[in-house]
Structure 1
Amino acid sequence: MTLIFGHRGAKAYYAENTILSFEHAIEMGADGIELDIHYSKDGEIMVFHDFTLNRMCGVNGSIFDYTLSELKRFKVQYRNQYQEIPTLKEVLDLILSLQVKHQKKIVLNVELKAGSDFYPDIEKNAMALCYSKLSKDQVVFSSFDHYALKEIRGLDAMAQTGILTASALVDPWEYVKKLGANYYHPAYLSLTPRLLSEISHTDLKVNTYTVNDTTIAKQLMLNGINAIITDSPDIMVELRKGI
């Protein structure tokens, strides 16, 4: 069965990467949530997508230019919603409460927007925080910074990692194996019929983003894709019921 992960929560309906968005994604039946992390100026791990605050908060500057207390005064704005920027700890606590409420284990996909070359020790600190709340088998660390994923595997060989790519790789199963990763996280447009056919003859597990078209999603599910990351988890959960 293909898993459904809410992209930044339920991004199609709620302010992305906020408690409201994550909570509703799980309420919609998502198996997990995907989020993005940065450091604040004072080293708190914040959940936010962009490096800069302009698009979502209407504030000049980068997220790492502000302390936690300063960031908490800003609001993520979307469709007349005004939500706080959460910390990773706050999201983890939410997941724990939602697991009790819904009586199911929730998968968390943590995307590192940058590794230690930019945010010193963020791999180690994010892992420690996640593992203080959740089991290792329900946390996946992904990144376009593949050095960050290599660092994570060096710190803990049991950590689950996913290789994010925006364009097609030749023989991605070989690259994933080289980095000791667990998953391949490609943009869905790079999953051509030829590549999907090649992947079907390997043990490569694919978690693809950001799938919002039901026709495409259905074909991916029928091809046995491991997980779909979507802005509309409710639609994808309903689609999966008919497959």
Structure 2
Amino acid sequence: MTLIFGHRGAKAYYAENTLASFEHAFEMGADGVELDIHFSKDGEIMVFHDFTLTRMCGVNGSIFEYSCAELKQFKVQFRNQYEEIPTLDEVIDLILRFQEKSGKKLMLNVELKAGSDFYPGIEKKAMAICYNKLSKAQVIFSSFDHYALTVIRNLDEKALLGVLTASAMVAPWEYVKKIGANYYHPAYESLTSRFMSEIKTIDFKLNTYTVNDTTIAKQLFLQNINGIITDTPDVMLAIRNDIGQ
């Protein structure tokens, strides 16, 4: 069965990367959520996409220039919604509450916006927070900063890693294996018919982003890829149910 990950929660409907967005994604039936992390000025792991606060909060400056307490005073704004910036620990607590309520084990995809070259020690701290309450089988660490993935692999040989890419790669299965990752996380636009035919005979797990087009989604479900990351988990769930996965 192809897994459905809510991209920054249920981004199409709620303020992205907020507890409200993640909660609604789970209520829609998502198998997991994808989120983004940064360090605050005082070393707390904050869940937020951009490096700067302008787009989502209307505030000047970068997220790492403010303490956690200061960031908590800002609001993520979207369609008359005003939500608090959560910490990674708060999101995990939400996952645990929803698991208890639903009886369903949930997945968490943690995207590191930058690794230790920019945020020293963020990989180790993110792992400690996640593994304190979730099993290793529930957490995927992904990044466009592939050095960050190698840091995690060196810290823990059993951590699940996803290689994020935005454009087509030649034989990405070789690269994924080389750095010791478990998943390939490409933009769906790079999944050409040639590429999809090449991986049919390879044990190669894809979690692709950001799929909102229903026609493309149907094709991907029928090809039984491992996971789809989407802004509209409710729409994707309906398609999966129609296909009978």
Same fold (TM > 0.5): yes
In structure 2, the partner of 1:226 is: 226
Supply the distance in 1 between the matched residues of 2:216 and 2:96 (Cα, whole angstroms): 32
* Cα displacement (A) at 1:159: 0.2
Shift in Å, 1:222: 0.8
Query: CA separation in 1, counterparts of 2:173 and 2:19?
Result: 35
Equivalents in 2 of 1:19, 1:241: separation in Å? 26
CA distance in 2: counterparts of 1:189 and 1:73, whole angstroms: 38
Amino acid at match of 1:97: R
> What letter matches 2:18 in structure 1?
T
Instruction: Report the CA distance between 1:103 and its aligned residue.
Output: 0.5
Find out whether 1:99 has 2:99 as its counterpart.
yes
2:60 aligns with 60
The C-alpha deviation readout for 1:179-233, integer Å capped at 9, x for no partner, is 1100000000000010011111210100000000010000011111100000000
Return the offset for 1:56: 0.1
Q: Give the match's secondary structure for 2:133.
A: coil
Aligned match of 2:155: 155
**For residue 145 of structure 2, what is the amino acid of its counterpart?**
D
Q: CA deviation at 1:6?
A: 0.0
Matches within 5 A, 1:106-121: 106-121=106-121
Matching residue's letter, 1:81: Q
CA distance in 1, matches of 2:77, 2:185: 28
Superposition RMSD in Å: 0.4
The 3-state SS of whatever aligns with 1:224 is: coil
Residue in structure 2 matched with residue 237 of structure 1 by the alignment = 237
Number of the residue aligned with 1:129: 129
Are 1:30 and 2:34 matched, yes or no? Answer: no
Q: How do residues 57-96 of structure 1 correspond to structure 2 at under 5 angstroms?
A: 57-96=57-96
Deviation at 1:29, TM superposition (A): 0.2
Residue ranges of structure 1 left out of the alignment (5+ in a row): none
Alpha-carbon shift at residue 239 of structure 1 (Å): 0.5
**What amino acid is the match of 2:150?**
K
Letter in 2 for 1:4: I
Question: What secondary structure is seen at the aligned counterpart in 2 of 1:91?
Answer: helix
Partner letter of residue 139 of structure 2?
A: V
Identity of aligned residues (%): 76
Could you tell me the TM-score, scaled by structure 1's length?
1.00
SS in 1 for 2:137: helix
Aligned counterpart, 1:172? 172
Aligned residues: 243
Give the partner amino acid of 2:189: L
SS of corresponding position for 2:108: strand
Distance in 2, matches of 1:97 and 1:142, equals: 24
Q: Which runs of 4+ in 1 moved over 2 A?
A: none
Q: What displacement does 1:235 show? A: 0.3
For residues 76-95 of structure 1, what are the alpha-carbon distances to aligned partners after superposition, in whole Å with 9 as ceiling and x for unaligned?
00000000000000001000
